[in-house]
Amino acid sequence: MKKYIILLLGFLLTSCTNETEITITKVSGSPEYTNAKLSLEDPIISEDGYEFKFNVEQYQLGLQTLKDFEYTLANSAKGQHIHFIVNNDPYSAHYNEKFSKKLEGNSNIILAFLSRSYHESVKNTNAFVLTQVGEQKIDLNNEFLFYSRPKGTYKGSDTEKLLLDFYLVNTEISANGNKVRATIQDKEFIIDEWSPYYIEGLSKGEVNIKLELIDASGNLIETPFNPSERTVTLE
């Protein structure tokens, strides 16, 4: 009997020690698109909601992004696109410069930015638009952290590496300044460089992710949409 108990304890101990650790790693090898530019004409109210017309320069929607790394990240077969975020809700992807969108409520903060085909944002000063529509306005000079990826449901090989990406506006992060605290399941990461990362070591099922913009002392910065929380599914 003691022999079986010892074997059982050994099995349980081995199972625990073999659990994969959750890690994040900086994504390197993406084209920078330093000259890419996104601008927005004044939205028009129509029967379908709002009509948005963007102008894209030095960047082509619909192309597959040529990356300089071999591993796989979830990729859109439709190519490069615009991530369109309303009030920090999950984004919608748009592959044309003009589209209509129904918006609810009297206050809608809109962030739009250029995205590579594998959903990594283009992070330059001209590659995004921040605006608002509706009667109630907020100060767009606030520091903002917008959540982008991961999003939705992942299957097959796409579950191995999940892109972690967010968009910063009117703020910077650094070793001695503001930072982003990312909590993935129950594991916490402090990020002090605005870059894309990929997450590894996740088990199948639901994954909870929380992003917080914090100051140099680790305190949550009081600003709209902070913190951000999402649940994604790995199948």
| Tens of pLDDT, residues 80-100 | 999 999 999 999 999 999 999
Q: How many domains is the chain built from?
A: 1
**CATH number for the domain that contains residue 182:** 2.60.40.10
- For 48-65, what is the mean pLDDT? 96
User: CA geometry: angle at 4 spanning 3 and 7, to 5°?
Assistant: 90
Q: List, in sequence order, the alpha helices (H) in the chain.
A: 2-17
Please list the residues that pair with 168 across neighbouring strands. Answer: 145
> What are the tens digits of pLDDT across the range 104-147?
888 999 999 999 999 999 999 999 999 999 888 999 999 999 99
Is the residue at 4 inside a domain? no
> What are the tens digits of pLDDT across the range 31-54?
999 999 999 999 999 888 999 999
Is the residue at 3 inside a domain? no
- pLDDT beyond 60 at 5: no
The pLDDT assigned to 3 comes to: 52
The pLDDT assigned to 37 comes to: 98
In Å, how far are 163, 166, 176, 190, 202 from 182, measured between CA atoms? 13, 11, 17, 6, 15
Lowest mean per-residue pLDDT among 18-22, 150-154, 157-161, 172-176: 18-22
CB proximity list for 46: less than 8 A, separation 6 or greater: 100
Contact assessment for residue 88 and residue 228, using Cβ atoms and an 8 Å cutoff: yes
Is the residue at 125 inside a domain? yes
Instruction: Round the average pLDDT of the chain to a whole number and report it.
Output: 93
The pLDDT assigned to 9 comes to: 46
Domain that holds residue 135: 23-234
Is the residue at 67 inside a domain? yes
Dist. CA 215–CA 195, nearest whole Å: 18
Is the residue at 85 inside a domain? yes
In Å, how far are 93, 98, 140, 226 from 133, measured between CA atoms? 19, 17, 12, 20
Q: Is the dihedral of CA 181, 183, 186, 189 positive or negative?
A: negative
User: CA geometry: angle at 17 spanning 12 and 19, to 5°?
Assistant: 100
Is the residue at 117 inside a domain? yes
Judged on CB neighbours under 10 Å (0-12, 13-18, 19+), 4 is: exposed
Phi then psi dihedrals of residue 159, to 5 deg: -80, -10
pTM confidence score: 0.91
Is the residue at 168 inside a domain? yes
The pLDDT assigned to 15 comes to: 47
- pLDDT beyond 60 at 29: yes
Give the full edge-to-edge strand order of the sheet including 108-115.
92-94, 81-86, 108-115, 128-133
User: CA geometry: angle at 172 spanning 168 and 176, to 5°?
Assistant: 140
Is the residue at 112 inside a domain? yes
- pLDDT beyond 60 at 8: no
Question: What single DSSP character describes residue 20?
Answer: P
Beta strands in the chain (DSSP E): 23-26, 37-40, 44-46, 49-57, 81-86, 92-94, 98-101, 108-115, 128-133, 144-149, 153-154, 162-169, 179-184, 187-191, 197-200, 205-214, 228-234
